[in-house]
Amino acid sequence: MTTEKGEQQSEWTTGDQIMKMPYRTPNWILPGYLLREGITILYAIQGAKKSFMGLQMAHAIISGSPFLERIPPKQGRVMLYALEDTVDRLHGRMRRQGWTTAEAGKLTVKFELDPLTRNGFAEMEKAIAARHPDVLVVDPLFLAIGSNLDLNRGEQVGAMMRRLKILVRKYRIALLVVHHTRKGSRFIPSGSLADDASGSRAVSALADIRMMIHNSPTSLTTKILVDGKDREFEEIPASFDAETWNWKVVDAAAQSDGLPSLVISYLKEHGPSSAARIAEGLGGKDRSNVAKVLVRLWKDGRLKRGAKDGGIVYEA
């Protein structure tokens, strides 16, 4: 347990002693997503824009701007280990996301970190003690841990997570770790916060907040799945803005409104067709969205599916 001063209690205590201590409500740095003295794991498949989301969360903390319609109670400072990025890449992303020079001055970035299995923990702690951030971002996890730690071994992952918990509690910061989903969930994602993170379940189980960018093959809308030890489960319809490179909450019903009926009408008029042909016939609709609608309508029994000329076609 943690004392009023934020120190972790390592001795035995009793329930009545706990009840006599002043109750502290969760200290959110970013409500629902980043908890002081807590670890947040953000994971998704490769190319799902999770690093953009991590940078956007850092911007929200520094600028006080909303993130997915949640506003940080106060502004803070952020440290970022951008282990798979470059100066130019990060520069471009910050410009597109609307960072000012003054805001950028509150972000401290390093592009290399000695593996946690070597001197990484000591290096990280020294930097935290010197710079006093409110939030530390490590992106991505697999480049931070080094080759001597097996992410599939629960005891090794548990030991790493324990050391990270000690670190965030000692310095009273929030830690955001960007991670990948396991390979098996790329094309048929289960949408399980417990099962989809790459490696042992200990990766997500020992985090305080779990977030996943989930793209279902049958949904037009990306969903941000979030739950944690101090918050309820939430499924947030969201989209990545190609202009600002920021994530935003969307109206899922409005996004998909009308497309299923357009697809069915097209098939009734033109006969068996592929997703590419339908997308083109509907004036250049997004092919991936049309494909998702076709799969959903087929699973609902509203369309037939077959093969033609080596490809898949659908029929109303």
Q: Give the per-residue pLDDT at 114.
A: 96
Q: Give the per-residue pLDDT at 259.
A: 82
67 vs 207: CA distance, rounded Å = 20
> The tokens of 294 are what?
């076709």
DSSP, collapsed to helix, strand or coil, labels residue 62 as helix
Q: What is the DSSP letter of 63?
A: H
Q: Give the per-residue pLDDT at 220.
A: 66
Name the segment(s) of the chain with CATH classification 3.40.50.300: 16-253
Q: Give the per-residue pLDDT at 282.
A: 84
Burial class for 160, CB neighbours closer than 10 Å (0-12, 13-18, 19+): buried
Q: Top-level CATH class of 258-315? A: mainly alpha
Q: Give the per-residue pLDDT at 218.
A: 59
Taking 50 as the pLDDT cut, the residues of the chain under it are 1, 4-6, 185-189
Residues 218-255 as b/e (b if ≥16 CB within 10 A, e otherwise) read ebbbbbbbbbbeebeeeebbbebeeeebbbeebebeeb
Name the segment(s) of the chain with CATH classification 1.10.10.10: 258-315
Break the chain down into helix, strand, coil percent, rounded to 5: 35, 25, 40
- SS3 of 8-47: ECCCCCCHHHHHHCCCCCCCEEECCCEECCCEEEEEECCC
Considering the four listed CATH numbers 3.40.50.300, 3.40.50.1010, 3.30.450.20, 1.10.3720.10, the one that applies to the domain covering 16-253 is 3.40.50.300
